[in-house]
Amino acid sequence: MNRSVGFAALAALTVFAASPASARLLLNGQFSDWLTPTQPANWTVEDTAYARVGRSADTTRSAPYAARITRTVDSIGNNRGLSQFAPVDPDIRYTLRAWFLDAHPDVKGGLSITWRTADSTYISNSGVSYVDTLVTDWQQVSRTATSPATAAYAEVLLRIYNMNAQSPAGGWLYVDDAVLDTGASAVAEPGPGRTGRWSLSLLPTLSAGSIVAEARTAGEAADARLLAYDLTGSLRAVIWSGRLGPGRRTLTWDGTGGDGRRVAGGLYFIVLTGSNGERIVRKAILQDR
């Protein structure tokens, strides 16, 4: 089975229910729900003596809110933020993604996964992935790691870090749209399903066990393919391959895989990719017949 390559740069996707992996995802990763202005639902604020968390409506990546984390101590260490336990299976690759806006010179954002046993005993940490401190707009940070054989939980950590030993208190950053997926190459769905010239949407179908997609373009014609990937990022089917010109084209996948056999029902990623560099990804559920 072919593995997908080159998807790491895509934005994160929140997988909805009806997928086997849906139980693995974070709750309230979009920070839409807050118990109080300083407490996002389903998240633990690690320690307000070191980092203060607040709800932000003015600066967000996706409405209505993001989380603002402010560092409250001087110098090195004492890096805190938000955490959440997510149930995991052992010996599975997981990818954590979150979006950070970090424009303050004294801090940087980072994320990591701490693996824990069923009684929450510490096993190991994945190591930290940090923001690019030269980027002052929203940027995605990700970390992929394999769960240990004794792991029952992934403790997801979204934190604010000092830049150096002289960093004073008071620096802040924003975090939004955190996702935990299975698979090192988990395909992502950026934006509303369109690029500058192309768009891809999924249409209702009366045929059980099929997926209908509509591709549109207002730009120049280009060679294109419509592909189906599973949750692990494995290519399962080439739905269509041809020339995509101005106008719209309706394409149907009946669930047949590349080996000529029907694939299992579940969540799939429908990818429109072209020789002109366009790429759009949509999520769809293939029903069992």
Token pair in block for residue 99 = 């979006």
- In terms of domains, do 79 and 205 share one? no
The pLDDT of residue 284: 82
Phi and psi at residue 145, to the nearest 5° = -155, 155
pLDDT category at 57 given cuts 50, 70, 90 is very high
The rounded mean pLDDT for the chain is 82
Picking from 231, 205, 222, the residue whose alpha carbon sits closest to that of residue 283 is: 231
d(CA 24, CA 14): 11
d(CA 93, CA 97): 13
The pLDDT of residue 193: 47
- In terms of domains, do 177 and 203 share one? no
Counting the structural domains of the chain, the total is 2
pLDDT category at 189 given cuts 50, 70, 90 is very low
Using one digit for the tens of pLDDT, what is the confidence trace for 213-237? 888 887 778 889 999 988 777 889 9
Any domain includes 189: no
Any domain includes 57: yes
pTM of the complete model beyond 0.75: no
- In terms of domains, do 173 and 202 share one? no
Last residue of a domain, one of 120, 148, 182: 182
d(CA 142, CA 130): 9
Residue 59: Cβ-neighbour burial (10 angstroms; 0-12, 13-18, 19+): middle
pLDDT category at 206 given cuts 50, 70, 90 is low
Token pair in block for residue 36 = 């109080």
d(CA 41, CA 129): 24
d(CA 51, CA 85): 19
- In terms of domains, do 41 and 91 share one? yes
d(CA 186, CA 192): 18
The pLDDT of residue 38: 97
pLDDT category at 169 given cuts 50, 70, 90 is confident
Any domain includes 188: no
- Say whether pLDDT at 2 is over 60: no
Last residue of a domain, one of 139, 154, 182: 182
CATH code for the domain of 49? 2.60.120.260
- In terms of domains, do 64 and 204 share one? no
CATH code for the domain of 259? 2.60.40.4070
- In terms of domains, do 213 and 177 share one? no
| Number of neighbouring beta carbons within 10 Å of residue 141 | 21
Using one digit for the tens of pLDDT, what is the confidence trace for 86-111? 888 888 888 899 999 998 888 999 99
The pLDDT of residue 13: 31
Any domain includes 36: yes
d(CA 59, CA 66): 7
Any domain includes 191: no
Range of the domain at 209: 198-286
- In terms of domains, do 68 and 130 share one? yes
- Say whether pLDDT at 78 is over 60: yes
Last residue of a domain, one of 182, 214, 240: 182
- In terms of domains, do 148 and 42 share one? yes
**Positions of E strands within the chain:** 34-36, 39-40, 44-45, 51-56, 66-71, 81-87, 93-101, 107-116, 122-125, 129-130, 139-146, 153-162, 172-182, 198-203, 211-217, 222-229, 235-244, 247-253, 266-274, 279-286
Mean pLDDT, rounded, for 56-83: 91
- In terms of domains, do 75 and 212 share one? no
More confident residue, 245 or 32: 32
- In terms of domains, do 168 and 224 share one? no
Using one digit for the tens of pLDDT, what is the confidence trace for 139-167? 989 898 999 999 999 999 999 998 877 78
- In terms of domains, do 78 and 210 share one? no
Picking from 214, 229, 225, 226, the residue whose alpha carbon sits closest to that of residue 269 is: 229
The pLDDT of residue 176: 96
d(CA 89, CA 23): 11
- Say whether pLDDT at 287 is over 50: yes
More confident residue, 6 or 78: 78
- In terms of domains, do 122 and 260 share one? no
